[in-house]
């Protein structure tokens, strides 16, 4: 057992004792035998694959998200928030364990966190609340689908609601024939009530209504859209008429100053390249469908927030809204996630509730990793020394409070992005680098890493690269990139990539 592993084991044991005591204190408080104030509730809203195309983030000039914008006005909006991994399973595993992907070694869509030996007994975020006596419930996608075996589900959340998949039309609607069945978008189904996210919102509404009144609750509600397939009924498409649709800003030569290794992170994926969409005249329909999906899921966020307000418990509830990662819609020549650029890492993050500043905007770099320690602090739990994030408490009190830490995103071993207020620095496993100055280049079009005058900036940013950088855990698969620095051999999803293999930029 390594020194680092021993440290984490002892930290976990110490926390286990501490939260057991905290659980007893909660029970005593509820019984009226303790002066401790009642703990706040938590409403934990996750949105799948939502980038910064949200009204309050100004990521797209036409997007309509009135309910998310209203939530931002009643709390604190983090405009420089980033995911730990640009892929569902490692991102969600990081949020729920409070550990970086470079620490857990979870980089792909498999394995689930409970199938990793070192994480089998790790106390997760929802488990913390369940063990402390909260009523805990979930519906939709909070953990990555299938990552928690059914026999273990009750140890995470006490109540598991429905997590329906997306409905599918009889035939694909996309103009790109064949390919992965998820790569589809268009007007479907005809009624909102047939959508997966309508059913998930309905389940969350029922959980809020039925939550016991004699104990606090932690309710997780995970929406599926705008993850592909991007389906929405006609009313949401009508918000974005094709003849007035504003398309993302792209440069045809945008990849000329990026390392070849940047392609390896998304070498061959189900998500189509921009060239493919353009060839099939399917770029505009995808952008329109993504926007329509966002507005529909915003309406479902509104339904859940309305139910919370009607419950009479909103004043004692911390609301957290987040997305697991962003999504490209043509920028850098691709669609999908799986990159270390702004479009893939930047996400909406809003916290609202008791003792949280209202209508506040924080521009400091923050991470999804910060949610675990923040909620522990806000709900009166002991601090966890094994968690790798930092509480957002100072920023929730005063949004302009500086933070000394950048936001770090990792995609497979050795590939990391460091995001500060002004800079994005990327280092790939082969040592190649990118550097972007967000003060003058918010689109990340000009890589400055090779310029001599940037040497001091690069030196400063390199020191934030993760010191723990584990290889992929056993059983890793799907979106897994392996690199051997000794031989310079590269493998993508188990298939070798030759140094002269042509880049698949139109598939």
Q: Name which of 256, 262, 269 is nearest 428 in CA terms.
A: 262
CA 275 to chain centre: 27
Q: Which residues are catalytic?
A: 88, 144
> With contact defined as beta carbons under 8 Å apart, do 102 and 413 qualify?
yes
Phi and psi (nearest 5°) for 423? -130, 150
Query: Can you read off the two tokens belonging to residue 133?
Result: 């006596």
**What gap in Å lies between CA 298 and CA 189, rounded to an integer?**
17
Phi and psi (nearest 5°) for 157? -115, 140
**What gap in Å lies between CA 329 and CA 343, rounded to an integer?**
9
3-class SS of residue 125: helix
**What gap in Å lies between CA 242 and CA 491, rounded to an integer?**
41
Phi and psi (nearest 5°) for 70? -65, -35
Helix (DSSP H) and strand (DSSP E) numbers for the chain: 15, 21
Is 183 exposed, middle or buried, given 0-12, 13-18 or 19+ CB atoms closer than 10 A?
A: buried
* Per-residue DSSP letter, 414: T
CA 238 to chain centre: 28
**What gap in Å lies between CA 127 and CA 137, rounded to an integer?**
11
Q: CB neighbours of 382 closer than 8 A, spacing ≥ 6?
A: 15, 18, 19, 22, 376
Q: Among all chains, which residue has been given the structure tokens 């100072």?
A: 394
> With contact defined as beta carbons under 8 Å apart, do 433 and 425 qualify?
yes
**What gap in Å lies between CA 345 and CA 80, rounded to an integer?**
10
Widest Cα–Cα separation across the chain: 72
The beta-strand segments (E) located in 258-348 are 317-323, 328-329, 335-336
Q: CB neighbours of 351 closer than 8 A, spacing ≥ 6?
A: 75, 76, 78, 318, 319, 320, 321, 374, 392, 396
Helices (H), 319-453: 342-345, 371-378, 393-397
Distances, alpha carbon 192 to alpha carbons 195, 198, 201, 298, in Å? 5, 7, 11, 13
Q: Edge to edge, what strands does the sheet with 407-410 contain?
A: 407-410, 416-419, 423-427, 433-437
Terminal-residue alpha carbon distance, the chain: 45
């Amino acid at each position: 057992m390594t020194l680092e592993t021993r440290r984490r084991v002892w930290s976990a044991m110490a926390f286990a004792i501490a939260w057991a005591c905290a659980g007893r204190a909660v029970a005593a408080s509820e019984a009226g035998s303790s002066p401790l104030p009642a703990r706040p509730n938590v409403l934990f809203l996750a949105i799948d694959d939502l980038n910064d195309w949200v009204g309050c983030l100004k990521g797209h000039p036409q997007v309509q998200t009135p309910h998310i914008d209203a939530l931002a006005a009643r709390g604190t909006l983090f405009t420089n928030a980033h995911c730990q991994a640009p892929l569902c399973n490692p991102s969600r595993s990081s949020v729920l364990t409070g550990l970086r992907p470079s620490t857990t070694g979870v980089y792909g869509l498999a394995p689930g966190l409970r199938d990793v030996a070192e994480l089998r007994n790790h106390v997760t975020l929802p488990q913390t609340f369940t063990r402390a006596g909260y009523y805990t419930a979930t519906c939709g996608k909070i953990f990555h689908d299938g990552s928690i075996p059914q026999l273990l589900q009750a140890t995470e959340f006490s109540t598991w609601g429905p997590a329906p998949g997306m409905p599918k039309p009889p035939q694909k609607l996309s103009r790109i024939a064949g390919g992965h069945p998820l790569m589809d978008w268009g007007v479907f189904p005809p009624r909102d009530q047939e959508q997966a996210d309508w059913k998930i919102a309905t389940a969350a509404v029922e959980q809020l209504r039925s939550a016991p009144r004699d104990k606090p609750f932690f309710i997780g509600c995970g929406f599926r859209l705008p993850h592909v397939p991007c389906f929405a009924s006609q009313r949401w498409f009508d918000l974005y008429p094709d003849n007035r649709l504003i398309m993302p800003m792209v440069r045809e030569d945008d990849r000329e100053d990026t390392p070849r290794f940047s392609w390896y992170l998304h070498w061959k994926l189900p998500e189509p390249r921009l060239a493919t969409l353009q060839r099939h005249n399917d770029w505009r329909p995808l952008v329109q469908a993504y926007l329509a999906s966002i507005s529909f899921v915003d309406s479902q966020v509104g339904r859940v927030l309305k139910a919370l307000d009607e419950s009479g418990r909103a004043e004692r509830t911390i609301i957290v809204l987040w997305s697991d990662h962003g999504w490209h819609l043509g920028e850098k020549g691709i669609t999908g996630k799986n990159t270390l650029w702004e479009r893939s890492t930047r996400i909406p993050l809003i916290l609202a509730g008791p003792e949280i500043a209202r209508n506040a905007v924080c521009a400091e770099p923050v991470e999804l990793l910060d949610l675990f320690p923040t909620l522990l602090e806000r709900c009166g739990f002991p601090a966890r020394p094994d968690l790798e994030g930092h509480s957002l408490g100072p920023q929730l009190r005063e949004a302009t409070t500086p933070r000394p830490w950048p936001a770090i995103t990792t995609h497979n071993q050795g590939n990391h992005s460091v995001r500060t207020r002004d800079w994005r620095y990327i280092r790939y496993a082969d040592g190649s680098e990118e550097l972007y100055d967000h003060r003058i280049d918010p689109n990340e079009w000009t890589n400055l890493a090779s310029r001599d005058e940037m040497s001091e900036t690069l030196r400063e940013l390199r020191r934030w690269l993760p010191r723990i950088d584990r290889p992929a855990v056993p059983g890793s698969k799907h979106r897994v990139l392996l690199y051997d620095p000794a031989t310079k051999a590269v493998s993508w999803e188990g298939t070798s990539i030759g140094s002269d293999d042509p880049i698949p930029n139109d598939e």
